[in-house]
Amino acid sequence: MPTDGWTRTYHRQNLLYEKLKMKEKEVMSFLHNLEMEYVEACKNNQELKKEINLYHKKLVILKQESKKLQADWAIIHQYLVDLNLSCKDEQEKTSNLETQEHQVGTNNLVNLCLSDTICTLDPSLLPPTTFLIQTPKQPPTSWNVAVLSSTSILGS
């Protein structure tokens, strides 16, 4: 029995077998690492899906709030435009009233001057006169109308 040949063959096969065993361990370790990475990637994927879903819900809520705010802003804007127009109308009315009051005041001044002239002749001939009297506590646009006779004005 040739022990040398058999031993050499056995020894070579044993070395190949050992190399294969080492490669198998490396491959199995690599496979295990890949499986662990896959499991971790799946977990991360699920967490990311949940996070995406959460952000999507927040986005929907923010869009709704944005629409409400835009509607509120449009209402406020329209209110301010209307208020501005209303103020312009009031300014025009005030201006018109001031113009009318100035004209009435000028007419009354002319009437008063005429009344003074007529009064020297005969005060009983004067009709009652309407005067616009501004009181100090009221704004300039509010006037009290008083009907006075010429005798009460002139002190006769």
Write out pLDDT tens, residues 85-135.
Answer: 888 888 888 888 777 776 666 666 556 555 555 555 555 554 555 444 444
What pLDDT, in 10s, does the model give residues 65-77? 999 999 999 999 9
Specify the number of domains making up the chain: 1
As a whole number of angstroms, the distance between CA 95 and CA 154 comes to 32
SS3 category, 144 = strand
As a whole number of angstroms, the distance between CA 13 and CA 26 comes to 20
142 contacts: CB under 8 Å, gap ≥ 6: 134, 135
pLDDT score recorded for residue 109? 58
The per-residue DSSP string of 112-137 comes to HHHHHHHHHH-GGGPPPEEEEE--TT
Domain that holds residue 42: 3-154
156 contacts: CB under 8 Å, gap ≥ 6: 119, 123
pLDDT score recorded for residue 101? 72
pLDDT score recorded for residue 93? 80
> 69: which 2 tokens?
């705010």
The secondary structure of residue 1, as a DSSP letter, is: -
Pick the closest to residue 130 from 93, 101, 94 (CA basis): 101
What pLDDT, in 10s, does the model give residues 2-39? 456 666 666 777 888 999 999 999 999 999 999 999 99
Residue with tokens 């927040």: 58
